[in-house]
Amino acid sequence: MSEVVGDYSAVGRRFAFVVARFNSLVTEPLLRGAQDCLVRHGAALDDLKTVWVPGALEIPLACKLLAQAGGLDGILALGAVIRGETAHFDVVVGQSAAGIARVSYDFSLPVINAVLTTEDTDQAFARAGTKAGNKGFDAALALMEMAEVAAKLRA
């Protein structure tokens, strides 16, 4: 029986972060958590690229342009969409997630969606490094694992 399993090594891998500036009090700690995770697992700082975009809806295009440019083992999309009083939340969440997934499928590249979708700011802050850990760190683990799985499946 054959089995493909990824590991948590960033040694020799090149990754990019696409980070929304909107809700930066949340997205900056997510980015720091993700960077910390990859460096702890062997990534070289020169192999990490960060691209800032205005908000979650702009993340998919930046991911697509990075994927088109090539040379990456994966992309981590970081953002925070916090429910407000209008239906805008649902549009942003759905379209952002769909666009991120499409880039991953279209380019056969791990593109991990770490755009937080929370009911309020307390939930967002909790997931950006306080009560609920740092979801940026957690997403970086998934990024490494999927980069390894993808490499093994291509071999």
Report, as residue numbers or ranges, the catalytic residues: 88
Burial status of residue 99 (CB atoms within 10 A of its CB: 0-12, 13-18, 19 or more) = buried
The DSSP code for 54 is S
Of 131, 147, 122, residue with least CA distance to 37: 147
| CA angle 155–76–145, rounded 5-degree value | 40
